[in-house]
Amino acid sequence: MRRLALAVIALAVAGWLASAWPGTRAELRARDIRPVPGRELSPARVQEAIGLLEDARRARPDGEVVPRRAGLELTAGRPERAVALLRPLVRHEPENVTAWTALALALADSDPEAAAEADARRRALAPPVEP
């Protein structure tokens, strides 16, 4: 009976790992597409990375992928799309420091007051460390 239980658990873990692999692979490929100092990303490369991160988000619906995707939307000059991605995330994960940071950046030009609130939330979650 123990062997059967272990076999079932092993199969469940293997299935979970197999289902996570496509999203992980997409996330890693998107991570390789990033701006290099002195050279901007082409719009096609930004769109490629956004598509990869969207695939990763569907496979791994946690708060790690969305801020990266929002950053790419900012790189593409679409802060409103970044805000649309980040607002639900900070409601769902109110302690996600990366999401609050990205939201403050995304709101900086269109809504400075909301950007300051997002930045204040970020600082409250991760206060500066005094030397």
Question: Taking residues 97-114, what's their average pLDDT?
Answer: 95
Of all residues in the chain, the percent with pLDDT exceeding 70 is 69
pTM for this prediction? 0.66
Measured in whole angstroms, the distance separating CA 124 from the mean position of its chain's CA atoms is 20
Domains annotated for the chain, with CATH where assigned, are 19-125 (1.25.40.10)
Q: Do the Cβ atoms of 119 and 111 come closer than 8 Å?
A: no
Q: Do the Cβ atoms of 46 and 78 come closer than 8 Å?
A: no
Q: Band of the pLDDT at 15, cuts 50, 70, 90?
A: low
CA distance linking residue 116 with residue 122, whole number of Å = 10
Residue 34 pLDDT greater than 60, yes or no: yes
pLDDT of residue 40: 76
User: Which among 109, 28, 122, 25 is positioned nearest to 74, based on CA atoms?
Assistant: 109
Residue 123 pLDDT greater than 90, yes or no: yes
